[in-house]
Amino acid sequence: MTTATSRLSADDLDATFAALADRTRRAMIAKLARGEASVLELAEPHDMSQPAISKHLKVLERAGLITRSRDAQRRPCRLEPRRLKLVADWIATYREYWEESYARLDDVLQELQGQSTQKEKSHGTVTKTRSHRRPR
């Protein structure tokens, strides 16, 4: 797979998360995390027709989450952890996104506070009058 070194496109992410959004497919991934498995082995815990199982596997394959050996007759499925890693990296950006946003917000707030302090100074008398009126 070439995507390992490149960024995930929006479509890749879409396909990956759509694939992960299904309980049966997550169960398959959990099973494959323990090692490669045949289609039969993957189908075993699920009360599902063979075509339904194949369909799930195709979704996982298209999403880059699993690969299937082309040569062997058994065609075992294998987890493709790089894709999950890329997804995890992308998700880690949630935190970075907010950390960086807040760092920038700090700057904006500092500037805004500077402005409001100046305003208070230039309208000092108004503030004073108000504070006299306000009951304590």
Partner 1 sequence: MAPSQKLEVIVAPDKPTIVTRRTVDAPRALVFDAWTKPEYIKRWLGPRNMEMVVCDVDLRVGGGYRFVHRTPDGQEFGFHGTYREISRPDRMVSTYVFEMFPDAEAVETLVLEERDGRTTVITTTVHKSIQNRDAHLANGAMEAGMNEGYARLDELLPDIRRAA
Q: What is the Cα–Cα distance from 3 to 6, expressed in whole angstroms?
A: 5
- Whose Cβ is closer to partner 1: residue 46's or residue 74's? 46
- Whose Cβ is closer to partner 1: residue 72's or residue 108's? 108
Give min distance, CB of 94 to partner 1, in A.
5
Give the residues lining the site for partner 1 (CB under 8 A): 7, 9-10, 13-14, 17, 20-21, 23, 26-27, 29-31, 33-34, 79, 81, 84-85, 87-89, 91-102, 104-110, 112-113, 116
Q: For tokens 């500092």, name the residue.
A: 110
Angle at 46 between CA 42 and CA 51, to 5 degrees: 75
Q: What is the Cα–Cα distance from 65 to 54, expressed in whole angstroms?
A: 15
